[in-house]
Structure 1
Amino acid sequence: MGAASSVPSPLSDANLPPAELAPVPVALLVDLGSGQVLYAKEPDRRFVPASITKVMTLYVAFELLARGQLRPEQVFRMSEGAYRDWHAVGSTMFLDRAHDVTVHDLLMGIANVSANDGCIVLAEGAAGSVPNWLALMNAEARRLGMKDSHFGTPNGWMDEGQTYVSAHDLATLAQAMLVRHPDLYRTYIGHPTMTWNGITQRNHDPILGKLEGADGIKTGFTNQAGYGFLGSAIRDGRRLVMVIGGAYTPKDRAKAAEALMNWGFAAFDSRTLFSAGEQVGTAAVQQGEARSLPLVAPGPISAASPRGTRAPVRLRVVYAGPLEAPVRKGDIVAELEITVGNRTGHRVPLAAGTDVPRAGLLARLRNGLLGLFT
């Protein structure tokens, strides 16, 4: 995510944000293909996320799966302590000490029926303890630049304010999940129901199955937090990510979420700049078998403008370089800054288009000689 900006000045009534947002304290809408903020209301205000916390638990699990440190078929069982504290507490998948449960089923339960017990069993099984899992959650938050977030629980249960987020940080987390783990996102996020141990429960996502293209991500509610939602939808290859925080009623949350998403798709035109996998630029590499690598778009990259306008677009590749080998194909190693007209620039990630192994002796000698002449 790039720096947050104010919503573009409307050119007509079609560009005015929907009235349904009035009762919602926190709201944000981001065009993921460009990183552009289409609407922002208190985007950096810290608030209690309740069960939206589980998105970070899912993200940590996705990272571990991608590294081979966790496997979907791995089996865990509820500990005595977890059973005592979390059996049938709040949203649950009704885990107990008598049944083994796979990582796959835990992730399905956490993502789609907001299983508090599933988060604890996953944390203990994958990391050895809940504190160890929280350390992973907060380390990932720091790595992603989520400066207004902290996690004191893996499931969002009330913890006297130790857990807090901002809308901007949640959008950053959603972007990372979608860019780094698109296959896992499709596997686990946005199922209308989930069945485990003969019990079927419904997903409470307010726009899933009701709004065209909606496919997740996670709701949250406690008396302290109010009603929140981190949601996403895709239409014609264009993906929007939305945050609603602190709504007073579930009806306010649902109306605001649906209205904001529909407005974002209707009030802005999107121009495709690069297709998924297309080369955007190059980056220098040191200590590698190659001295540079191609930078490619991990997904479609676009630029949004208020409908009926076509402002000029400026592009700039940004990375801390030269990159240090080894670099793996698909690693996020750079960003593309997109500036539309005179608005604030926003950034989207760029991936390495090829592997660059660390150089052997001959390659280092060759690179050193080439460096003398360039």
Structure 2
Amino acid sequence: MKHVTRSLLAACLALSAVPAGAQSEVAVPAVPSAQDVPIAFLADLGSGQILHAREADRRFVPASVTKVMTTFLAFEMLDEGRLKPDQVFAMDRQTFRDWGRKGSSMFLNEGDQATVDQLLHGITTVSANDGCAVMAVGATGSVEKWVALMNAKARELGMTNSHFGTPNGWMDEGRTFVTARDLFILSRALITRHPELYRRYIGKPSYSFNGIVQSNHDPMIGHVLGADGIKTGFTRQAGYNYLGSAERDGRRLLMVIAGTDRPAIRTKAARAFIEWGFTHFATRTLFAAGKPVARAAIQGGAARSVPLVASRPLVVSFAHGTQPKISLMVHYTGPLKAPVQAGAEVAELEIRIAGQEPFRTPLVAAQNVSEANWWQRLRNGLAGLFA
């Protein structure tokens, strides 16, 4: 097996054609004033294109943004049937001693019971530290076991610069840390793997438990068109952080703001940053969802190759008034070995836009390819001789 790179020359030539009077290079619009925002990151969910990155790989303390990993782990368990929405967990004595009324809370008392559904609403909407602990103990038997699963999920997703020490981001002498790029990886998985659960639990303006109504402190919900969260965070050690998202006309942007020293700065920066992303870039669809992008060779299959497609529309962004040169390359380790399942991620499309950081987006097999029978093996062998 070898790494195969295919340059899509025809696509490159078609996409890089420059109309008369247009610029050939991207003049990326200036980022809105981000004074006192040490870390800022903005990317397109669909393509993975990074629109702006400041200190994207700098480790920082996430505070309650940690709860996004707890939420993602719970979503994974719900989809796998390891958790049920109506499953009931209780606040036991030790968990109450450790986490009762500690920071933001659902106000769970010792002995109180809550369903997984209630705990998730408490975690995502009112940032319940106690809710995270009850979920962890109820689902796995201990906070430590839950945290181990959080870190296993981080490794699985490729979050190479992140580590979790608690389920909720409470101060732990720096054992919990993330990067903006890793939070993008996490939030992209949260939304794309679990769209229905995301809509159910993320972006709610308030939540009531035990007769206590609390508001969501998200700086964009109700103020920015299409905004639905995802999570704020604050401790004295971390400052004011934010992982946010908004969707307009089918285009979703994800944003990280971290290390600000006042909530007003975080709010102003978040709203300005997301608006900048939506209003200062034009978009172009390179390939519709399901449209063949290229073909990958297959070894030992009923077919000698399989079409590669994007599972969602491949849309790229560039500055208004420009028509930048765009080059495309397909990367995969091949030939692929049969059988190949339709929908399996088997390749990546690398997209290079003049003046911007290159990025890659997954390509999937468009159809099933079974193992070859004797006749197909003979046919493939003869075709290989004359190829």
TM-based fold match above 0.5: yes
Q: What does 1:200-215 correspond to in 2, within 5 Å?
A: 200-215=213-228
Of 51-60 and 196-205, deviating more is 196-205
Partner of 2:32: 18
Instruction: Report how many residues are paired.
Output: 359
Name 2:41's counterpart in structure 1.
28
Q: Give the conservation status (yes or no) of the 8 Å contact 1:179–1:299.
A: no
In structure 2, the residue matched to 1:260 is 273
Letter in 2 for 1:372: G
Deviation of the 1:158 alpha carbon: 0.3
**Offset of residue 280 of structure 1:** 3.7
CA distance in 2, matches of 1:280, 1:198: 54
Match of 1:154 among 167, 170, 175: 167
Specify the structure having the higher radius of gyration (Cα). 2
Structure 1 gaps of 5+ residues are: 1-8
Q: Deviations over 1:79-131 (max 9, x none)?
A: 22111111121111122343332212211111111111111111112222212
1:198 lines up with 2:214 in the alignment: no
Once the two structures are TM-superposed, the CA of residue 289 in structure 1 deviates from its matched residue by 7.7
Letter in 1 for 2:381: L
C-alpha displacement of 1:332: 4.2
Aligned positions of 1:264-303 closer than 5 A:
264-283=277-296, 294-303=307-316
Percent sequence identity over aligned pairs: 55
Task: Map 1:64-79 to 2 at 5 A.
Answer: 64-79=77-92
Structure 2: distance between partners of 1:324 and 1:132? 37
1:42 Cα deviation after fit: 1.1
Higher mean C-alpha displacement, 48-57 vs 173-182: 173-182
User: Structure 1's 182 and 354: CA in aligned 2 closer, same or farther, altered over 3 A?
Assistant: farther
| Aligned 8 A contact 1:34 1:304 in 2 | no
Structure 2: state its 5+ residue gaps: 1-24
Give the structure 2 partner of residue 221 of structure 1.
234
State how far apart, in whole Å, the 2-side matches of 1:224 and 1:181 are: 32
8 Å contact from structure 1 (residues 214, 232) kept in 2: yes
Aligned ranges for residues 321-360 of structure 1 at < 5 Å? 321=334, 330-341=343-354, 343-354=356-367
Change (3 A) 1:355 1:189: farther
Aligned match for 1:372, one of 339, 363, 381: 381
In 1, are the aligned partners of 2:350 and 2:360 still within 8 Å (CA)?
yes
Instruction: State the TM-score, normalized to the length of structure 2.
Output: 0.84
User: Greater relative contact order (Cα 8 A, min sep 6): structure 1 or 2?
Assistant: 2
TM-score, scaled to structure 1: 0.87
Change (3 A) 1:114 1:320: farther
Q: Deviations over 1:192-226 (max 9, x none)?
A: 11122322211110011101111111000001000
The amino acid of 1:159's aligned partner reads D
Superposed displacement of residue 297, structure 1: 2.7
Q: What CA distance in whole angstroms lies between the structure 2 residues aligned with 1:228 and 1:175?
A: 18
Distance 1:288 1:180 in 2: 29
Render the CA deviation track for 1:4-31: whole Å, top value 9, x for unaligned: xxxxx9738xx11111x11111111112
